[in-house]
Amino acid sequence: MAITKEDVLKVLFNVNDPELHKSLVELGMIKDIEIVGNAVKVTVALTMAGCPLKHQIKGDVEAAVRSMPGVEHVEVVLSTMTSEERAKLFGKGPQDEMEGIKQVKHIIAVGSGKGGVGKTTVSVNLAIALAKKGFRVGILDADMHGPDIPIMLGVTGRPLGSEGMLLPLEGHGIKMMSTGSLAGEGVPIVWRGPLVNKAIKEFLGNVNWGVLDFLVIDLPPGTGDAAITLANSVPLKGIIIVTTPQKVALSDVRRSIGLFKSTNVPVLGIVENMSYLRVPGAPNEIMDVFGTGGGEKMANAFKVPLLGKIPLDPAIRQGGDEGMPVALKNTGEAVEAFQQIAEGVLKQLC
Ligand SMILES: Nc1ncnc2c1ncn2[C@@H]1O[C@H](COP(=O)(O)OP(=O)(O)O)[C@@H](O)[C@H]1O
Ligand SMILES: [Mg+2]
């Protein structure tokens, strides 16, 4: 008996997207089925290009179709959904009203309880790690009081305007917008709360980010206001919280959990920065300069993964100062830590 499209669809109805836990057919991910004799070719549209689960999806589809009686050859082709198809699946959000980020797939924020824990360092190196995997990435510097992104990304100059919108600057292939680039060096910027939020919205709506897989937002320090306002006005996919290994008071952790929970934005995970130091001259020896356990404690309290531990490494500071983020390098413990964090983030998002 000849194989029909309906037969194939019926079988594929039982194949679920591993993350969304819904049938690929229901999700509209089966784009095309071609049958020639005993050969079946299925085109699957992923929600995002380069999704790390693509091999699993491909394998599952292949196995399901191969199990059908009469099928001899199976070919699975992967494509990516258009933004319209994604909008249908995930619904229209505030993003669709913001011109500048219409073609941005995932907006993720990097936050911390306090300053100086390495929030900007994580934002920049995570962006680079994602870009190295072939994703198109941008960074929005929302830390208006300490706009360090241009320095850490090695970007100078001012953004140009085009058709009523600002064009982001670019460093190491990462698109970037920061008040630091607008005001010029050494110009003090004084922002009041409402202005900060207005500026962030301007940066999302009136900067032509173009097509991006990820827009990373470097949040102002403090888990509170900025994150909440941002979460309410921007379609954030999730927040990454950077902490140090110091003992964090459980009461502080609880408070920040409460704040983040009230935003309904998922915490994707915790990054512990400045976790340990490899003692120079004794590479097998590790020093816990800032104590231990802060990241684990935070991750446990939030019930989210500890995405990674970044060593205290002068190369990281130097990379930041010189605008050559350490994640650009090919090897090293810090580089691997950032790669691992990027993979953890990808796992949560597609
Ligand atoms: N793991 C690390 N090892 C060494 N220096 C680091 C590390 N993380 C951050 N730094 C340095 O610490 C300083 C503060 O980091 P930064 O990312 O600017 O923090 P934040 O954005 O949270 O204020 C910077 O000079 C940065 O280069
Ligand atoms: Mg910073």
pLDDT at position 163 is 81
State if residue 141 touches ligand 1 by the CB under 6 angstroms criterion. no
What pLDDT shows up at residue 190?
59
Say whether both 153 and 48 belong to one domain: no
The whole-angstrom separation of Cα 33 and Cα 214 is 31
Structural domain ending residue among the three candidates 32, 62, 86: 86
- Tell me the CA–centroid distance for residue 186 and ligand 1, in Å: 20
CATH of the domain at 198: 3.40.50.300
- Of 63, 86, 109, which residue sits at a domain end? 86
What's the whole-model pTM score? Answer: 0.77
Q: Are residues 99 and 58 part of one domain? A: no
What residue owns the CA closest to ligand 1's atom 2?
A: 312
Q: Are residues 70 and 135 in the same domain?
A: no
Instruction: Indicate if 194 and 296 belong to the same structural domain.
Output: yes
Ligand 1 pocket member 313 (CB < 6 A): yes
Nearest to 310 by CA among 335, 285, 344: 335
274 lines ligand 1 (CB under 6 A): yes
Question: Is the distance from the beta carbon of residue 119 to the nearest atom of ligand 1 less than 6 Å?
Answer: yes
Same domain, 82 and 97: no
Best probe residue, ligand 1, of 112, 119, 120, 121 (max atoms within 8 Å of C-beta): 121
Atom of ligand 1 nearest to the CA of 312: 3
Ligand 1 in reach of 120 Cβ (< 6 A)? yes
Contacts 24+ apart (CB under 8 A), 151-157: 151/180, 151/320, 151/321, 151/323, 152/120, 152/121, 152/124, 152/319, 152/320, 152/323, 152/325, 153/124, 153/323, 153/325, 154/322, 154/323, 154/324, 155/181, 155/323, 157/181
Quote the domain boundaries for residue 122.
Answer: 92-349
In this structure, the answer to whether residues 18 and 133 fall within a common structural domain is no
165 and 301 both lie in a single domain? yes
Let me know whether 66 and 197 are in one domain. Answer: no
Which residues lie at CB < 5 A from ion ligand 2? 119-120, 143, 148
* Cβ of residue 123 lying under 6 Å from some atom of ligand 1: no
| Ligand 1 closest atom vs CA 334 | 1
Q: Which of 5, 1, 79, 68 is nearest to 35 (CA)?
A: 5
Same domain, 129 and 240: yes
What per-residue confidence (pLDDT) applies to 96? Answer: 60
The total domain count for the chain is 2
Return the SS3 of 214.
Answer: strand
Distance, in Å, from the CA atom of 273 to the CA atom of 124, rounded to the nearest integer, reads 13
Same domain, 200 and 271: yes
For residue 118 and ligand 1, the question of a CB distance below 6 A is answered with yes
The minimum-distance atom of ligand 1 relative to the CA of 311 is 1
Q: Residue 317 has what pLDDT?
A: 97
Look at residues 54, 86, 118 and tell me which one is the last residue of a structural domain.
Answer: 86
Nearest to 236 by CA among 333, 108, 118: 108
If you take atom 16 of ligand 1, which residue's CA is the nearest one? 118
Would you say the C-alpha torsion 303, 309, 310, 312 has a positive or negative sign? positive
Same domain for 116 and 55?
A: no
- Whether residue 313 is found in the same domain as residue 172: yes
Quick one: the chain helix, strand, coil %, rounded to 5? 40, 25, 40
Could you tell me which residues come within 8 angstroms of residue 292 by beta carbon, excluding any fewer than 6 positions away? 245, 276
Q: Is 100 in the pocket of ligand 1 (CB under 6 A)?
A: no
Ligand with minimal distance to 327 CA:
1
C-alpha of residue 317 to centroid of ligand 1, in Å: 6
63's tokens: 């196995």
Alpha carbon of 229 to ligand 1 centroid (Å): 25
**Domain containing residue 57: CATH number:** 3.30.300.130
| Termini Cα distance of the chain | 38
Q: Which residues of the chain have pLDDT under 70?
A: 48-52, 83, 90-97, 184-194, 223-229, 248-254, 256-257, 259-264, 350
What pLDDT is stored for residue 297 in this prediction?
Answer: 86
- Number of residues assigned to the chain: 350
Side chain identity, residue 61: V
